[in-house]
Amino acid sequence: MKAKNIKSNPIFEDVKPTKILDEYLRLVQLDAENFFNDDKRHHINCPACDNKGKYSFTKNGFKYENCSNCNSLYVSPRPENEVFKHYYTKGKSVEFWATTFYKVTSEARRKILWKPKAKMINNIVNKYAEGAKIIDVGGGYGIFAEEMESISGNPVTIIEPSSDLAKLCREKGLIVIDKFLEDVNKNELPSGPKTFVSFELFEHLHDPILFVQQVAELMNSKDIFVFTTLSSSGIDIQALWENSKSVTPPEHINFFNPYSIKLLLSKTGLDCLEVTTPGKFDIDILCDNRELIKDRFLKTFVTYATKDEKNTWQKMVSKSGWSSHMMVCCQKP
């Protein structure tokens, strides 16, 4: 039996170049040692269902607990939020991600990730809130906003606390509110129906429930909120667990899933409309990390399966809710 197509496809390498990603992870580990060495930490129960979790593993000096009730994975005990704020302001890994990583991958990510994502969001808006104006929380480089404006023809408002990123977005002609979410007032937002969006931010949040509540305060009745995050039940995270490159404290400290995210939203007063897992690269991630897979079947599959077989599996994983890339749509009653 001959191994075939062991390495991931070139598209995945364009989005997350191995050498650059590994350098980023090296810097994350150094930042974890430098910023979180002597910090005070407090035990928390599961952020989704408030169940007492069970210790699972330690990575970069952070302990993760796994909830036996809803299968969420999360950091506990958890450092104070002020330590995280200092890290996100001064961390070398944060700077590397915002400069080197994005500089190299921005156009590939625009084509492969952001254009399709803008189309998905546009479909959701047309389905639940036709004509709603988009509010991008944590808009970063403004690539999504550019693509969304191109599709819809309507301006997107970005909420971005980083002065450098806010300046960059303004230079692109985008509308920017350069404040932290909690400092934004309703009267600063456009009038009429709104759709709030947030991408790849939820897994970073010190207090996910507080974040959703802050978004909800800016929403009017029937406004919707769409966000993406990592799922603890995703096939690659389940197979690799503590060896997963997605599990990168102090960056990623919350991993919910299609079941537990509904429990969390029920605490915020928002109604969950739909949860999907439209991921594209779960099988590619397993291919690139096959030596770390303990399950014999999965290891054999990613080593010997044909390209068509892997593509079939990826489509099945995404459609059935088992991708680690999760998209959530909720609405204010």
For residue 117, how many other CB atoms are within 10 A of its CB?
21
Q: What share of the chain has pLDDT > 70, as a percent?
A: 97
- Tell me what percent of the chain is helix, strand and coil, each rounded to the nearest 5: 45, 15, 35
On whether the CB atoms of residues 32 and 4 are closer than 8 A, the answer is no
Beta strands in 199-270 (DSSP E): 224-230, 254-255
Q: What is the pLDDT of residue 283?
A: 97
The Cα 114–Cα 148 span in angstroms is: 9
Strand partners, 73: 66, 255
The pLDDT-based confidence of 16 (bands split at 50, 70, 90) is confident
Would you list the DSSP string of 166-202? HHHHHHTT-EEE-S-GGG--GGGSPSS-EEEEE-S-G
For residue 312, how many other CB atoms are within 10 A of its CB?
13
Can you read off the two tokens belonging to residue 134?
A: 């988009």
pTM for the predicted model, two decimal places = 0.93
Q: What is the pLDDT of residue 6?
A: 53
Q: Is the dihedral of CA 282, 287, 293, 298 positive or negative?
A: positive
Amino acid in position 14:
D
Q: What is the pLDDT of residue 74?
A: 98
Please give the angle made by the CA atoms of 219, 177 and 208, to the nearest 5 degrees: 50
Can you read off the two tokens belonging to residue 133?
A: 């104006």
CA-nearest of 255, 152, 135, 283 to 195 is 135
Task: For 197-224, write each residue's pLDDT tens digit.
Answer: 999 999 999 999 999 999 999 999 999 9
